[in-house]
Structure 1
Amino acid sequence: MTQRGRITWNGAAALGRMREGALRGVQLGAEHLLQVSRGRVPIEEGTLERSGVVSVDEQSVTAAVSYDTPYAVRQHEELTYRHDHGRTAKYLEGPLHEENSAITEIIAAQVRRSLR
């Protein structure tokens, strides 16, 4: 007994959906990083913490988390400053390394979801 079937490959549509999922994942992953890093930002008045934002470049499917105050870089890099308990220098770099697996899984989950 011979069976026949026909498969139609919609490669362009599949790639488009994967890209949409990746964009969504990159956005959510960056927002996760922002949330974790906000918990470590040195805080006195909260200005630095409130200045944190996520920006996504859809063309390159990349995201950035940034803090926008005149002293953000100095607070991040200066290891000798004293901070309140739980607040620290490297408030963005540390969480980026620590949350790498979680961020990767967030992106992967969104790509998988987009292909359903």
Structure 2
Amino acid sequence: MTQRGTVRWDGDVALDAMRQGAALGVRLAAEHVLTESRRRVPIEEATLERSGVATVDEANLTAAVSYDTPYAVRQHEELQYRHDAGRTAKYLERPLIEEADTATAIIAAQVRRALR
């Protein structure tokens, strides 16, 4: 017994949904890295911590996490500075590396969700 069926494939709709899911995933992944970074950022008056932002370029599916104070780079790079417990130099670099798998999983989950 042979069964026949028809499958309608709308590739443009699928690609659009995938791109929208990826864009949301990139945003959520960047926010995740920012959150983890804020847990390590050196804190004196919390100005540096509050200056952290995650920005997303949805057209290129890229994101950036940054801190905007005159001393942000110096605090990040100076390994000899002393910080409170749990606060450290490389407060952005280390979470980015350590959370790479989680960030990838966040993006993948949003793409899968968009394709349902």
TM-score class normalised by the smaller sequence? over 0.9
Aligned partner of residue 80 in structure 1, secondary structure: coil
Structure 2 residue 28 is matched with structure 1 residue 28? yes
User: C-alpha separation between the residues in 2 aligned to 1:103 and 1:58?
Assistant: 16
* TM score, norm. by length of structure 2: 0.98
Aligned partner of residue 2 in structure 1, secondary structure: coil
Which contiguous aligned blocks of 4+ residues in structure 1 show a shift greater than 2 angstroms? none
User: C-alpha separation between the residues in 1 aligned to 2:35 and 2:56?
Assistant: 16
Give unmatched runs, 5+ long, in structure 2. none
CA apart distance, 1:55 = 0.4
Aligned partner of residue 22 in structure 1, secondary structure: helix
Give unmatched runs, 5+ long, in structure 1. none
Could you say which residue in structure 1 is the equivalent of 2:94?
Answer: 94
Give the number of aligned pairs: 116
Moved more, 85-94 or 2-11: 2-11
CA apart distance, 1:2 = 2.4
Amino acid at match of 2:20: E
Amino acid at match of 1:89: A
* TM score, norm. by length of structure 1: 0.98
What's the RMSD between the two structures over aligned residues? 0.6
